[in-house]
Amino acid sequence: MSETPLDQMTLETLLAQIAAADLAYHRDDRPIMDDARYDALKREAERRGAVFMQVGAPVAAGFGKIRHAQPMLSLDNVFAPDEFSEFCARIRRFLGLDATVLQFVAEPKIDGLSISLTYQDQKFIRAATRGDGEEGEDVTENVRTLPDLPLRLPEDAPNFIEIRGEIYMARADFLALNATQARPFANPRNAAAGSLRQLDPRITASRKLSLFAYARGAASAPVAQTHFDYLATLRRWGFTVNPLAEPISETQAIDFQARIGALRPDLPYDIDGVVYKLDDLALQDRLGFAGRAPRWAVAWKFPAERAITRLEAIDIQVGRTGALTPRATLTPVNVGGVIVTHATLHNEDEIIRKDVRVGDMVEIQRAGDVIPQIVAVLSAQRPPDAEPFHFPDHCPICGSLAIRPQGEVVRRCTGGLSCPAQVVERLIHFCARPAFDIEGMGEKTVREFHALGWLNTVADIFTLPDLEAKIARLDGWGALSAAKLSAAIRARRRIPLARFIYALGIRRIGEANAKLLARHYGQFAVWRDAMIAAQMIGSDARLELGVISGIGPSIAEELVGFFAEPHNLALLATLDAQLNIEDEIGPADNTPLAGKTIVFTGTLETITRPEAKARAEEAGAKVTESVSKRTDYVVVGADAGSKATKAAALGIALLTEAEFRSLAGF
Ligand code: IVH
Q: What is the pLDDT of residues 232-287, one digit of tens each?
A: 999 999 999 999 999 999 999 999 999 999 999 889 999 999 999 999 999 999 99
pTM tops 0.75, yes or no: no
Highest mean pLDDT among 27-36, 92-101, 233-242, 548-557: 233-242
Residue 60 pLDDT > 50, yes or no? Answer: no
What separation in Å is there between the alpha carbon of 8 and the centre of ligand 1?
55
Give 576's Cβ-side CA count (13 Å radius): 13
- Give the ligand 1 atom nearest the CA of 293: 2
- Class level of CATH domain 65-301: alpha beta
User: pLDDT band at 591, cuts 50/70/90?
Assistant: confident
Which are the contacts of 593, defined by CB distance < 8 A and separation ≥ 6?
Answer: 616, 619, 620, 621, 633, 663, 664
What is the model's pLDDT at position 85? 96
The CATH homologous superfamily of the domain defined by 496-582: 5' to 3' exonuclease, C-terminal subdomain (1.10.150.20)
What is the model's pLDDT at position 411? 95
Mean pLDDT of 646-660: 91
Mean pLDDT of 555-562: 90
The CATH homologous superfamily of the domain defined by 1-52+304-434: Nucleic acid-binding proteins (2.40.50.140)
Pocket test for ligand 1, best of 105, 109, 227, 256 (most atoms within 8 A of CB): 109
114 lines ligand 1 (CB under 6 A): yes
- Give the ligand 1 atom nearest the CA of 215: 1
Do the beta carbons of residue 543 and residue 552 sit within 8 Å? no
Which are the contacts of 576, defined by CB distance < 8 A and separation ≥ 6?
Answer: 524, 525
Percent pLDDT > 90 in the chain is 61
How far is CA 362 from its chain centroid?
Answer: 30
- Give the ligand 1 atom nearest the CA of 77: 7
- ∠ CA 324-325-329, nearest 5°, is 135
Helices (H) and strands (E) in the chain, counts: 24, 26
Closest CA to 338 of 193, 185, 113: 185
**Within 10 Å of residue 422's Cβ, how many Cβ atoms?**
25
Q: What is the pLDDT of residues 404-453, one digit of tens each?
A: 988 889 999 988 778 999 999 999 999 998 899 999 999 999 999 999 99
Residue 122 pLDDT > 80, yes or no? Answer: yes
Which are the contacts of 363, defined by CB distance < 8 A and separation ≥ 6?
Answer: 306, 307, 308, 374, 375, 376, 377, 378
Q: What is the pLDDT of residues 140-188, one digit of tens each?
A: 999 999 999 999 999 999 999 999 999 999 999 999 998 888 777 878 8
323 lines ligand 1 (CB under 6 A): no
Closest CA to 311 of 349, 354, 353, 368: 354
298 lines ligand 1 (CB under 6 A): no
Domain 597-664 has CATH 1.10.10.520: no
**DSSP states of 129-145 as a string?**
E-TTSSEEEB-HHHHTT
What is the model's pLDDT at position 369? 60
Annotation marks residue 596 as catalytic: no
Q: Whose CA is nearest to atom 22 of ligand 1?
A: 74
**How do 633-636 and 597-601 pair as beta strands?**
parallel
Consecutive H or E run containing 569? helix 566-578
User: pLDDT band at 55, cuts 50/70/90?
Assistant: very low
* Mean pLDDT across the chain: 89
Rounded CA gap, 431 and 437, in Å? Answer: 5
Q: Any idea what DSSP says for residue 265?
A: G
- ∠ CA 291-293-295, nearest 5°, is 100
Rounded CA gap, 22 and 41, in Å? Answer: 12
Give 121's Cβ-side CA count (13 Å radius): 0
Residue 587 pLDDT > 60, yes or no? Answer: no
- Give the ligand 1 atom nearest the CA of 107: 15
User: pLDDT band at 599, cuts 50/70/90?
Assistant: very high
What is the model's pLDDT at position 589? 65
Q: What is the pLDDT of residues 444-497, one digit of tens each?
A: 999 999 999 999 999 999 999 999 999 999 999 999 999 999 999 999 999 999
More confident residue, 598 or 618: 598
Q: Whose CA is nearest to atom 15 of ligand 1?
A: 109
What is the model's pLDDT at position 56? 32
499 lines ligand 1 (CB under 6 A): no
192 lines ligand 1 (CB under 6 A): no
Rounded CA gap, 489 and 611, in Å? Answer: 42
Encoded amino acid at 45, one letter: A
What separation in Å is there between the alpha carbon of 107 and the centre of ligand 1?
10
481 lines ligand 1 (CB under 6 A): no
What separation in Å is there between the alpha carbon of 86 and the centre of ligand 1?
20
Domain residue extents for the chain? 1-52+304-434, 65-301, 496-582, 597-664
Do the beta carbons of residue 106 and residue 228 sit within 8 Å? no
Encoded amino acid at 354, one letter: K
74 lines ligand 1 (CB under 6 A): yes
> Would you report the helix, strand and coil content of the chain in percent, each value rounded to 5?
40, 25, 40
162 lines ligand 1 (CB under 6 A): no
161 lines ligand 1 (CB under 6 A): no
What is the model's pLDDT at position 253? 97
Residue 28 pLDDT > 70, yes or no? Answer: no
Mean pLDDT of 530-539: 91
Highest mean pLDDT among 156-170, 583-597, 650-664: 156-170
Mean pLDDT of 191-204: 89
Encoded amino acid at 647, one letter: A
- Give the ligand 1 atom nearest the CA of 294: 2
